[in-house]
Amino acid sequence: MKLLLTIFLSVFLVEGCSEYKDLEKVKMVYDANSRGYHKTITIENKTFFVTNARNEEPHEVKLTDSEWKSIADLFKKVDLTTYNKLEGPTQERYYDGKPPANLTITKDEVVYATLGFDHTIPPTQIKNLVDTILKLSEKK
């Protein structure tokens, strides 16, 4: 009985830790830039770095396990086969209404990038992921 319990717990714990495995092999960079605005958020190897000014050194934002899990869960929902065709629903970036933004994803040395969108107004397919990343970037 103890052997069965040990095997069950081992499998359960391995599966529980595997929720981050997809995210460990991925680099995500959210970038929004205009003449007067700069924000870069880099997520790689369970690190979350934010830069809010052009000449600023990136600072690390400490995330809880549940915050990492939420990013991993949202990333799993991203369809990389159509990712390069995603375009924002608005075009305020064309007349300086919003800074142009992009979320670039690198997985297995393949780079995926959207066609661009307005900062804080991403395509609906990645809206939850971008909103979560932006919200977490405000954490001190």
Domain with residue 45: its CATH number is: 3.30.1560
Range 7-23 average pLDDT: 52
**Number of domains present in the structure of the chain:** 1
Is residue 15 situated within a structural domain?
no
Range 8-18 average pLDDT: 47
Query: Quick one: which of 41, 31, 28, 44 has its CA closest to 116?
Result: 31
Structural domain containing residue 91: 22-137
> What pLDDT score does 2 carry?
47
Better pLDDT: 13 or 105: 105
Buried b (16+ CB within 10 A) or exposed e, 89-109: eeebbeeeebbbbbbebebee
Is residue 54 situated within a structural domain?
yes
Residue 111 has pLDDT above 80, yes or no: yes
Q: What are 62-76's pLDDT values in tens digits?
A: 899 999 999 999 999
> What pLDDT score does 25 carry?
86
Residues 6+ apart with CB under 8 A from 132: 70, 71, 74
Range 100-112 average pLDDT: 96
Is residue 83 situated within a structural domain?
yes
- Whether the CB-CB separation of 100 and 87 falls below 8 Å is answered with no
Is residue 3 situated within a structural domain?
no
> What pLDDT score does 139 carry?
83
> What pLDDT score does 6 carry?
47
Residue 20 has pLDDT above 70, yes or no: no
Tally Cβ neighbours within 10 Å of residue 67. Answer: 16
What DSSP character marks residue 125? G
Is residue 122 situated within a structural domain?
yes
Name the pLDDT band for 86 (thresholds 50, 70, 90).
very high
Burial of 44: CB neighbours in 10 Å, binned 0-12, 13-18, 19+: middle
Is residue 82 situated within a structural domain?
yes
Query: Quick one: which of 124, 86, 111 has its CA closest to 28?
Result: 111
- Whether the CB-CB separation of 94 and 32 falls below 8 Å is answered with no
Q: What are 24-52's pLDDT values in tens digits?
A: 789 999 999 998 899 999 999 888 999 99
Cα–Cα distance, 40 to 128 (Å, whole number): 18
Is residue 108 situated within a structural domain?
yes
Alpha carbons within 13 A on the beta-carbon side of 79: 7
Is residue 17 situated within a structural domain?
no
